[in-house]
């Protein structure tokens, strides 16, 4: 079996040498234009590029969508569109436990008479504990340090307020509406749900279906998770609860064909919205991600059009969330650049987890959080509100 | 995506060359990098603080040995500290004198309890036991159905009934006694650790069952919250061990360290894939390297085992060492390699890959032109690249959408590799000769790899862990025996 290992080394070596040389040559002759299929490895750090690309893609999408007379399902714009029944839970109440873990630290900061090195240590710890991540935390704090140095901020209370404003502004300006583009009766919208195992994709679909059905949209669910035992049963239960149609395939069958069938059925019956479930998959499994690529491609082949690709992320997820967002974005992308994911659903935010990874996902990849799960019931799945979210996280009771 | 600890320390280490002892300032600087590495691996902030303090104690004033550079020594200290923290006592299953031995599975939603209940049942079965699975997750739609399906796959009976979970658990225990099953595995509903009602329910289930083992199922991707969750479950249920799931992803898995540290219970099992067989007892040494992003050789090898067809790979390797490795073989192997996951991840796991190469921003897309070029060759050309003359080159370049220069480069690099591998093969053969019939597992010494063409600055003797480089892979070569 050592042989496998040898081959591996050989392949990686050859490949590595090739890439190094390739890049070097490119660096030497940057002006030369090539039409070759070989994508150019960017010499600059990737993150800002990706963000920029994602931003431009988002703008493009926004524009297209705006032209197509989007129905905003955002409660504010069309209160009648989604019946949240006045039961909408507040971020503040549901995230009380998450906040309480940070309370001690924040109280400590406020209690000090000035801004000391302990203040900075405490702030850093609070942000890290919220899974905000080292990089974003550093960025946030460096900005504040400058302002403190310039005597713009002198009191701990001001500092906390400034931090809060800074956090909100990082999440500001994104389009968080779910896109349901009206079209011909036989041209359903398709919302594709993707994510790693166990984040709550199926449950989220169930809730979205119920919410959409309540607001008068006709819904069909396509049980594209043909891998996990009984996933289709789980979805069927949700379909019964919300009165949605469901299309199922064989266990172990091809998810693309189940979803395709779902879309065709919806088109035939004049159903407006197809919610397509997919099996949970780790973003590192190349074959499974290829399967997802196919699902994404095939979903566009029929009479429907994919208007949302929603990445479901568990609020307990740590720094790996960024890798998930990046890989799923790449796999569901039908173009050449940017991300195919149109939005993030952050689930399980009603636990003690704080979901800080969304800061990195939004700022580094430009993927807006659209929905959050604040509890078990259907009405606990609500539109994401950055101001409420940050407030629930860091404002003391 | 994150830098490994060794590359983080590189800059600092350069300045330290030739020093005989680490000063406090040197150590401080390194500790800062260590801290960042641990935080990026999702180790809990509080736990990081403790670890860093312990490492400082060991590192300050540590006498620098001649053989290792200071960076390696610090890494060694960190690595052994983490291994010690993750390991310590291992969990040994003692079966109840009066069967069944009861195992209770608990954890958050989506951590993988149901799947891992089945995996655990399969493991007990492989130990010659007769498990019974009981599903008391009556909340999630179709959870019991999922357990039944899995039970069928591993041929283990599943008991459940609608109604009250506590009552179902009690009946499950009776059922196990009645059927004479000697291990009972109870899959509970996922719950948030802050849900008082649900926590009370699982406490009741636990008091009815009086389990011999209570396992907490923890997702390797969990962030800072792992600590809070573990503490809450431990306070309610007295956890005996942890099952770490989704280790087949690229999460560094700092949660493992955090949980181990706060509840002081061993990590008993690790789930390393979607298949029910992908479940094993936990290896603390691998985990330490992984948290540090140091290259996880054994995991890499295991992944390779899955991705490559064994016979084909052996043949290819034979050919490689004989110098008969063709572009066709190369293409095949490259495709198998791609199955193992993103290349950047693979490179990250390989110790001894120069930083320059790791930083080359390697994407899988970059394999495409190589593939395209090979695909555009005739079978004969693939076997005998020396045949490729000017007109063939142009055809190949046109066919693959690349340039003649690209084709040339590939052919040339391939020839270089063949030469290198032949030399490599020679060395391997010599060693095999020495080892005689003892079984041909041969590790060619990699440290002194002959100067490679282009970018390889002489392959320093493994910037990774001392002793984790290729020569003398330490002990546990398990999967190969």
Instruction: Determine the Cα–Cα distance for residues A178 and A182; give it in Å rounded to an integer.
Output: 13
Q: What is the pLDDT of residue A230?
A: 85
Q: What is the CATH classification number for the domain harbouring A302? A: 3.40.50.300
| pLDDT tens sequence for chain A (397 residues) | 344 444 555 666 555 544 444 444 444 443 333 333 333 333 333 333 333 434 443 444 344 334 333 333 333 333 333 344 457 889 998 888 888 888 888 888 988 889 999 999 999 999 999 999 999 999 999 999 999 999 999 999 999 999 999 999 999 988 999 999 887 778 999 999 999 998 999 999 999 999 999 999 999 999 999 988 888 999 999 999 889 999 998 888 899 999 999 999 999 999 999 999 999 999 988 889 999 999 999 998 989 999 999 999 999 999 999 999 999 999 999 876 678 999 999 999 998 899 999 999 999 999 999 999 998 888 899 999 999 999 999 887 7
A350 part of a folded domain = yes
Number of structural domains chain A divides into: 1
In chain B, residues with a C-beta closer than 8 Å to the C-beta of A357 are 223
CB of A285 less than 8 A from some CB of B: yes
User: For residue B285, which of B53, B90, B433 has the smallest C-alpha distance?
Assistant: B90
Residue among B36, B111, B456 whose CB faces A134 most closely: B36
Min Cα distance A67 → chain B (Å) is 34
Residues of chain B above pLDDT 70, percent: 70
A137 part of a folded domain = no
Q: Do B142 and A237 touch (CB under 8 A)?
A: yes
CB of A20 less than 8 A from some CB of B: yes
Query: B252 pLDDT exceeds 60?
Result: yes
Q: What is the pLDDT of residue B475?
A: 29
**Which residues between 93 and 152 in chain A have a beta carbon less than 8 angstroms from any beta carbon of chain B?**
97, 101, 125, 128-131, 133-134
Q: Do A286 and B421 touch (CB under 8 A)?
A: no
In chain A, residues with a C-beta closer than 8 Å to the C-beta of B409 are 18, 21-22
**Which residues between 242 and 271 in chain A have a beta carbon less than 8 angstroms from any beta carbon of chain B?**
251
At A33, phi and psi to the nearest 5? Answer: -90, 140
Confidence class of residue B466 from pLDDT cuts 50, 70 and 90?
Answer: very low
In chain A, residues with a C-beta closer than 8 Å to the C-beta of B446 are 9
Q: What is the pLDDT of residue A17?
A: 47
Q: Do A286 and B406 touch (CB under 8 A)?
A: no
- The whole-model pTM stands at 0.73
Residue among B112, B350, B443 whose CB faces A197 most closely: B112
Sheet holding A305-314, edge to edge: A245-247, A219-222, A273-276, A189-194, A305-314, A343-347, A369-373, A381-383
Provide the token pair at A371. Answer: 């929905």
Provide the token pair at A216. Answer: 């008068």
Q: HSE on the CB side for B86, CA within 13 Å?
A: 27
Residues of chain B above pLDDT 90, percent: 33
Q: What is the pLDDT of residue B427?
A: 63
A163 part of a folded domain = no
Which of A318, A348, A354, A355 is most worth mutating to test chain B (most B CB atoms within 10 A of its CB)?
A: A318
pLDDT tens, B340-353?
766 666 666 665 55
In chain B, residues with a C-beta closer than 8 Å to the C-beta of A323 are 1, 250-251
Q: Do B141 and A237 touch (CB under 8 A)?
A: yes
Q: Do B145 and A199 touch (CB under 8 A)?
A: no
pLDDT tens, B328-374?
888 887 777 777 766 666 666 665 555 555 555 556 667 778 888 88
Element (H, E) at B5: helix B5-16
In chain B, residues with a C-beta closer than 8 Å to the C-beta of A133 are 39-40
Nearest CA in chain A to B343: A12
A118 part of a folded domain = no
Provide the token pair at B143. Answer: 């959870």
- Better pLDDT: B289 or B143: B143
Confidence class of residue B326 from pLDDT cuts 50, 70 and 90?
Answer: confident
Cis, bond preceding A96 (omega within 30 deg of 0):
no
Q: What is the pLDDT of residue B367?
A: 74
A144 part of a folded domain = no
A147 part of a folded domain = no
Range of the domain at A378: 59-88+174-394
Give the domains, in start order, of chain B with CATH numbers.
5-86 (1.20.120.140), 101-294 (3.40.50.300), 309-444 (1.10.260.30)
Sheet holding B213-219, edge to edge: B158-159, B131-135, B183-187, B101-107, B213-219, B241-245, B267-271, B279-281
Residue among B347, B368, B400 whose CB faces A12 most closely: B347
Which residues are CB-neighbours of B281 under 8 A, at least 6 positions away? Answer: B90, B268, B269, B270
């Amino acid at each position: 079996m050592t042989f496998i290992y040898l081959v591996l080394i050989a392949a990686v070596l050859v490949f590595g040498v090739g890439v190094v040389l390739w890049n070097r040559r490119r660096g030497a002759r940057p002006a030369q234009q090539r039409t070759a299929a070989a994508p150019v490895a960017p010499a600059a750090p990737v993150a800002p590029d990706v963000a920029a690309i994602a931003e431009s893609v988002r703008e493009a999408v926004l524009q297209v969508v705006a032209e197509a007379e989007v129905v905003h399902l955002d409660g504010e714009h069309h209160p009648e569109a989604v019946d949240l029944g006045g039961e909408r839970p507040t971020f503040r109440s549901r995230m009380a436990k998450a906040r309480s873990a940070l309370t001690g630290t924040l109280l400590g900061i406020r209690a000090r008479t000035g801004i000391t090195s302990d203040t900075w240590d405490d702030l850093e710890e609070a942000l890290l504990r919220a899974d905000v991540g080292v990089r974003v935390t550093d960025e946030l704090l460096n900005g504040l340090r400058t302002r403190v140095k310039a005597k713009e901020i002198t009191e701990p209370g001001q500092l906390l307020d400034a931090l809060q404003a800074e956090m909100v502004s990082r999440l500001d300006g994104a389009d968080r509406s779910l896109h349901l583009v009206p079209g011909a009766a036989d041209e359903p919208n398709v919302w594709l749900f993707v994510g790693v195992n166990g984040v709550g994709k199926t449950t989220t679909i169930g809730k979205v279906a119920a919410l959409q059905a309540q607001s008068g949209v006709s819904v069909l669910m396509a049980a594209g998770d043909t891998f996990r035992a009984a996933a289709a049963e789980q979805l069927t239960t949700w379909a019964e609860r919300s009165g949605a149609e469901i299309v199922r395939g064989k266990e172990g069958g091809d998810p693309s064909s189940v979803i395709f069938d779902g879309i065709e059925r919806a088109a035939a019956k004049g159903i407006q919205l197809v919610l397509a479930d997919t099996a949970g998959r780790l973003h590192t499994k190349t074959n499974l991600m290829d399967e997802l690529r196919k699902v994404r491609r095939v979903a566009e082949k029929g009479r429907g059009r994919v208007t949302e690709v929603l990445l479901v992320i568990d609020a307990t997820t740590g720094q790996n969330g960024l890798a998930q967002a990046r890989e799923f974005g790449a796999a569901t992308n039908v173009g050449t650049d940017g991300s195919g994911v149109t939005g993030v659903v952050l689930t399980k935010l009603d636990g003690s987890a704080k979901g800080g990874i969304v800061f990195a996902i939004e700022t580094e990849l430009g993927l807006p959080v659209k929905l959050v799960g604040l509890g078990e019931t259907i009405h606990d799945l609500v539109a994401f509100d950055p101001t409420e979210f940050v407030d629930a996280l860091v404002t003391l009771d | 995506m994150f830098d490994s600890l060794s590359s983080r320390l590189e800059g600092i280490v350069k300045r330290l060359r030739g020093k005989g002892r680490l000063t406090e300032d040197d150590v401080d600087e390194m500790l800062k990098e260590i801290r960042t590495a641990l935080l990026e691996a999702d180790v809990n902030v509080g736990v990081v603080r403790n670890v860093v303090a312990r490492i400082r104690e060991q590192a300050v004033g540590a006498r620098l040995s001649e053989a290792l550079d200071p960076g390696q020594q610090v890494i060694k200290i960190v690595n052994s500290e983490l291994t010690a923290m993750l390991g310590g006592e291992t969990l040994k299953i003692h079966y109840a004198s009066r069967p069944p031995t009861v195992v209770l599975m608990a954890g958050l939603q989506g951590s993988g309890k149901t799947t891992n209940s089945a995996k655990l049942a399969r493991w007990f079965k492989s130990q010659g036991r007769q498990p019974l699975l009981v599903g008391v997750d009556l909340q999630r739609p179709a959870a019991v159905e999922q357990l039944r399906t899995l039970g069928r796959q591993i041929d283990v009976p599943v008991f459940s009934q609608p109604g009250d979970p506590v009552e179902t658990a009690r009946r499950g225990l009776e059922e196990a006694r009645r059927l004479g099953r000697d291990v009972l595995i109870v899959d509970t509903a996922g719950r948030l650790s802050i849900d008082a009602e649900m926590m009370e329910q699982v406490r009741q289930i636990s008091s009815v069952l009086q389990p011999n083992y209570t396992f907490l199922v923890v997702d390797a991707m969990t962030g800072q919250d792992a600590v809070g969750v573990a503490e809450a479950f431990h306070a309610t249920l007295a956890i005996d061990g942890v099952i770490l799931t989704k280790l087949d992803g690229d999460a560094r898995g700092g949660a493992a360290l955090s949980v181990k540290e706060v509840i002081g219970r061993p990590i008993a099992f690790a789930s390393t894939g979607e298949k029910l067989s992908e479940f094993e007892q936990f290896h603390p040494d691998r985990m330490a390297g992984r948290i540090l992003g140091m290259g996880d050789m054994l995991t890499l090898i295991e992944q390779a085992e899955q991705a490559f067809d064994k016979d084909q790979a052996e043949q290819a390797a034979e050919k490689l060492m004989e110098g008969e490795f063709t572009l066709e073989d190369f293409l095949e192997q490259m495709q198998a390699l791609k199955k193992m996951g993103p290349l950047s991840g693979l490179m990250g796991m390989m110790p001894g890959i120069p930083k320059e190469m790791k930083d080359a921003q390697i994407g899988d897309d970059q394999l495409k032109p190589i593939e395209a070029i090979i695909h555009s060759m005739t079978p004969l050309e693939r076997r005998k690249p020396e045949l490729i003359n000017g007109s063939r080159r142009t055809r190949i370049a046109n066919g693959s959408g690349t340039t003649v220069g690209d084709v040339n480069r590939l052919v040339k690099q391939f020839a270089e590799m063949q030469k290198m591998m032949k030399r490599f093969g020679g060395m391997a053969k010599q060693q095999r000769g020495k080892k005689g019939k003892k079984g041909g597992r041969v590790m060619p010494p990699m440290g002194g790899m002959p100067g490679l063409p282009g970018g390889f600055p002489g392959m320093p003797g493994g910037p990774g862990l001392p002793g984790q480089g290729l020569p003398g892979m330490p002990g546990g070569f398990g999967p190969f025996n």
